[in-house]
Amino acid sequence: MDKVIHFKIKRQDGPNSQPYWEEFKMPYAPQHNVISALLYLREHPVNTRGQRVAPVAWESNCMEEVCGACSMLVNGVPRQACAALVDDLEQPIVLEPLTKFPIIRDLAVDRQKMFDALIRVKAWVPLDGSQDVHEPAPRISPADQALRYVYSRCMTCGCCMEACPQYHDHSDFIGPALFGQVALHNSHPTGGFFKADRLHALMDPGGIAGCGNAQNCFKVCPKDIPLTHAIGELGRQTTVQWLRDLLMK
Amino acid sequence: MAKQRVVVVGGGLGGLWATLRLAEAGHSVDLFSMFQVKRSHSCCAQGGINAVLDIKGQHDSIEQHITDTIKGGDYLGDQPPIKTMCQDAPGLVHTYDRMGVTFSRTPEGIMDQRLFGGVKNRRTCFAGATTGAQLLYGIDEQVRAHEGGGRVRKLEFWEFLSLVLDDQGVCRGVAALNVRNMKVETFRADVVLLATGGAGLIWGRSTMSTNCTGAAAARAYQQGAKFANGEFAQFHPTAMKGHDKLRLMSEACRGEGGRIWVPRKAGDTRLGRDIPENERFYFLEEWYPAYGNTSPRDVASRAIVRVTRHMGLGVRGQDIVYLDLTHKSREFLEARLGGILDMYQTFAGVDPYTNPMEVFPSMHYTMGGLWVGFDKDGQTGGMARISPKNHATSVPGLYACGECDFAYHGANRLGANSLLSASFSGRVAGDAAAAYLKNLKSGCDKVPDSVYDAERQRQAEINQALLARTGGENASTLHHQLGELMQQYVFVERDNAGLDKALAGIAELKERGRKISLDDKGNWSNQSLPWARQVQDMIVLGEVMTKCARLRDECRGSHYKAEFELKQPEGKFAGDPEYEAYTEKWKANNERWLKHSIATHTPAGPQVEYWPVDSSVMPPTKPRDYR
């Protein structure tokens, strides 16, 4: 082999197995990304010791950084592997699973708790059914739409959770991604009717008080979602809510 | 009767809409998906969703949307469902708006609309250039609310393997594989809906997500569901080159003013941006002045193949044309198309704001799919809005919606009609399934355990045989070879000699598919096993598509065979005797070929018959003409 792509991959056969490192080399071709290379290795799963091994397990789907499936650590950085171009990466390219979620196998992890948290914070606009009500939704200014659009690009990929020092096994902090979703739904004209429900969820243990203001979350977000801005805004909203709750007692 | 049970397979727009409607009707739904539903391929749709709101002073009308859709599909779509879909579209997008979908706005704060292909009016609602993702998130959130309320149980990381059919051939549940612990289980259901998407991976590379194999539809087909119009696959004119995926550059690029061109001089070595205006050949604008860059996709893709492969004018002599937005301001482009232009920059490493993008047609959408029926409303001439006949497949108790069905788009889909049909069909299919449940005399609780045990056993044995085999074929290698055959012979231009070669090649792949062995023999999260099964099923469906293409000796929509082309007389239009003679020939051809091809599985391969098209809304009197 002349020019090669060299991978060093942290593998683990199952949730309770010991992790181990395995290296692979494959022929270089321009325009590879990490997932297209893993697809090549699926067909030719031979490690650098010449052993044919079980192909690496991982999750991916869209291959264009919109579905959020292929989050992993690429050279130590949490990101979408499909948008990590081999030509831009230092070799050997080190792939590791996200560390904040239970391992399923190799690079695949279980991100279910993020989706459970979306239920907890009621991240939706309540409807009186999906039937046509023969009336359009309230108007939204282009400026408000632009801000909401930024939040609504969240793929629930987990990169911000990985980067957050407060989000880990021994903490009940719900993690930065959820704040963007609460900000999104609180800012909707009718979604805002139920603002208090979402804010109360954030005032519970593990909510907004858990943020340590490390500001790592928005730096790794593949969609540049201003999560720190959302946390700041929701900090104000929860304070107002707290006062309102006091008065209503 | 015991509490009724519902299974929905697939969690893109179609599956989520069906789930929502069933949950709202009070049913408990088991929603199966191979991954978290938020990652479904609907999220890749970019440009928008069509609905007549007529906010731009163009006097757009629902009748015009119906006409455009029917003609865009070259008359092959059954018309009553098209009519109802177009009528319901405005209410549907307003419902999405109520869900909080971040549609782009006019200065007055109402949903903005832009131009798309195959139409003359601005009819497409959009959310930047990530409309599919935004709609998916909107409906996903609604379903999550029902999940929180206990009505919906998500079974994510489960793969549908087969239907459970009772001794009368009625669908009574599914067998599915838990892709983590690799166990096969069966699930009882009184009604099953498949919303499992398109089958782009049969072409190896396409604009589709890597899970769009069509395997689920292929499995239902092999258990008796009829597959319709398999030969009709859409090749999107503008996709990026790539060796893993052909990433889509939305038709919105052209709707917002993007222009397609090639250098007039063959093999011009200058960079696109350095080629002066008078040395550029804007072939779509020249050949189709009425629609220009927003000609329908089948027309545009054929023109691109003509200019590159027949005229030798591809960029640097390759299969490439330019998609040029550099004449538009950065601010405008960022607001309207930012999401996908970033993607171009990421994957091509070239700035699309200052350089014309390099694109070529790619497999993009399967118009064909599982045959589904509809209930015609005698009074309105549309589809009855609630009826158990709507979206019912040929297997009793099995429904299909979204891209895995064959409805609405005929021989070619118009841009921004797929988010509409996926949503609308999911809504209709959910309502239809609820109506079916109401009429159901005897439920799945009456079906003996032995029926489920037998299906589970059959599926587990298939898996065990795959795991036990050694030294056989590699699934990925077979997949590449299938893709090469389809790209070469079942692409934009087809001919019978090539299709025969493809069929011979597929027959060989089918044989070799039976000898696949796996590099992973494990029983935990073994991704090789489901992939091997998907490849086998893709070969089966590829055969259906190729066989139907071989049999259809005409040109219609996306299906083009030069040998059978009825050439439009150049420079002649309606009223001219030469054009009228052409119209007569076209009508005679419709007598023979304006029919759905219906494939039925047999051990010897697909058997194809032809069923009539319901053309009662707008009978075909005038050929499509986009000049």
The model's pLDDT over B96-146, given as tens digits with 9 standing for 90+, comes to 999 999 999 999 999 999 999 999 999 999 999 999 999 999 999 999 999
- What is the phi-psi region of residue A217: left when phi exceeds 0, alpha when psi lies from -120 to 50, beta otherwise? alpha
> Scanning every residue of chain A, which has its alpha carbon at the shortest distance from the alpha carbon of B24?
A129
Would you say B44 and B12 are in contact if contact means Cβ atoms under 8 Å apart?
no
Q: How confident is the model at residue B294 (pLDDT cuts 50, 70, 90)?
A: very high
Percent of chain B with pLDDT over 70: 100
Helices of type H across B79-130: 79-98
pLDDT score for A1: 56
Specify the higher pLDDT residue, A136 or B608: B608
List, as one string, the DSSP characters of A124-159.
S---S-SS--SSPPPP--HHHHHHHHHHHT-----H
Shortest CA gap A141–chain B (Å): 5
Shortest CA gap A102–chain B (Å): 13
Contacts of B97 in chain A (CB under 8 A): 136-137
Asked if A104's CB is within 8 angstroms of B180's CB, the reply is: yes
User: Would you state the structure tokens that stand for residue B193, as one six-digit string?
Assistant: 């809906």
Is a pLDDT exceeding 80 seen at residue B95? yes
Shortest CA gap B352–chain A (Å): 16
pLDDT digits (tens, 9 = 90+) for A34-48: 999 999 999 999 999
pLDDT score for B242: 86
Expressed in angstroms, the distance from the first to the final Cα of chain B is 60
Residues of chain A below pLDDT 70: 1
B297 is catalytic: yes
Cis peptide before A92 (omega within 30 of 0): yes
**What residue segments make up the domains of chain B, in order of their start?**
236-364
pLDDT score for B3: 87
> Scanning every residue of chain A, which has its alpha carbon at the shortest distance from the alpha carbon of B349?
A31
Centre a 10 Å sphere on the Cβ of residue A133 and count the other Cβ atoms it contains: 14
Contacts of A136 in chain B (CB under 8 A): 94, 97, 110
Contacts of A118 in chain B (CB under 8 A): 141, 144
Asked if B109's CB is within 8 angstroms of A142's CB, the reply is: yes
Contacts of B211 in chain A (CB under 8 A): 61
Shortest CA gap B37–chain A (Å): 10
Alpha carbon distance A89, A83 (integer Å): 11
For residues B83-104, give the mean pLDDT. 98
Q: Which of B259, B280, B297, B302 is catalytic?
A: B297
ipTM: 0.98
Alpha carbon distance B512, B485 (integer Å): 15
Of A54, A129, A146, the CB nearest to B519: A54
Residues 6+ apart with CB under 8 A from A13: A105, A106, B522, B524
Would you say B139 and B20 are in contact if contact means Cβ atoms under 8 Å apart?
yes
pLDDT score for B459: 98
Residues 6+ apart with CB under 8 A from A202: A121, A174, A178, A179, A182, A208, A234, A238
pLDDT digits (tens, 9 = 90+) for B159-196: 999 999 999 999 999 999 999 999 999 999 999 999 99
Residue ranges and CATH numbers for the domains of chain A are: 4-109 (3.10.20.30), 112-248 (1.10.1060.10)
Residues within 8 A of A (CB atoms), B 300-359 only: 335, 339, 343, 346-347, 349
Asked if B109's CB is within 8 angstroms of A141's CB, the reply is: yes
Residues within 8 A of A (CB atoms), B 255-284 only: none
Shortest CA gap A113–chain B (Å): 12
Of B44, B102, B427, the CB nearest to A152: B102
DSSP bridge pairs for B359: B321
B145 touches A: beta carbon within 8 Å: yes
Is a pLDDT exceeding 70 seen at residue B5? yes
Of B24, B39, B244, the CB nearest to A61: B39
Residue matched to tokens 């040029």: B324
pLDDT digits (tens, 9 = 90+) for B543-600: 999 999 999 999 999 999 999 999 999 999 999 999 999 999 999 999 999 999 999 9
For residues B509-523, give the mean pLDDT. 97
CATH of the domain spanning B236-364, picked from 3.10.580.10, 3.30.2130.10, 3.90.700.10, 1.10.620.20: 3.90.700.10
Residues within 8 A of A (CB atoms), B 354-413 only: none
The radius of gyration computed from the CA coordinates of chain A, to the nearest angstrom, equals 21
Percent of chain B with pLDDT over 90: 98
User: Phi/psi of residue A131, each to 5°?
Assistant: -70, 160
CA angle B220, B21, B109 (to 5 degrees): 120
pLDDT score for B339: 86
Please name the helix (run of DSSP H) or strand (run of DSSP E) that holds residue B14, with its range, or none.
helix B13-24
Shortest CA gap B348–chain A (Å): 8
pLDDT score for B1: 57
Residue matched to tokens 């073994």: B526
Q: Which of B13, B99, B146 to mutate to test the interface with A (most CBs of A within 10 A)?
A: B99
Q: Is B253 exposed, middle or buried (0-12, 13-18, 19+ CB in 10 A)?
A: buried
Q: How confident is the model at residue B243 (pLDDT cuts 50, 70, 90)?
A: confident
| Nearest CA-CA partner of B590 in B600, B598, B582 | B582
Strands (DSSP E) contained in A113-194 are: none
Pairing of strands B152-156, B28-33: parallel
Pairing of strands B5-9, B28-33: parallel
Mean per-residue pLDDT of chain B: 97
Alpha carbon distance A131, A118 (integer Å): 24
3-state secondary structure B490-538: CCCCECHHHHHHHHHHHHHHHHHHCCECCCCCCCCCCCHHHHHHHHHHH
Is a pLDDT exceeding 90 seen at residue B365? yes
Residue matched to tokens 């039976």: B514
| Nearest CA-CA partner of B572 in B527, B623, B498 | B623
Pairing of strands B259-263, B49-50: unpaired
Contacts of A67 in chain B (CB under 8 A): 38-41, 43-44, 209
> Scanning every residue of chain A, which has its alpha carbon at the shortest distance from the alpha carbon of B477?
A43
Residue B105: DSSP 8-state: B
Half-sphere exposure at residue B211, Cβ-oriented, CA atoms within 13 angstroms: 30
Asked if A149's CB is within 8 angstroms of B36's CB, the reply is: no
pLDDT score for A248: 87
User: Would you state the structure tokens that stand for residue A22, as one six-digit string?
Assistant: 């395995």
Contacts of B101 in chain A (CB under 8 A): 152
Would you say B275 and B266 are in contact if contact means Cβ atoms under 8 Å apart?
no
Asked if A63's CB is within 8 angstroms of B144's CB, the reply is: no
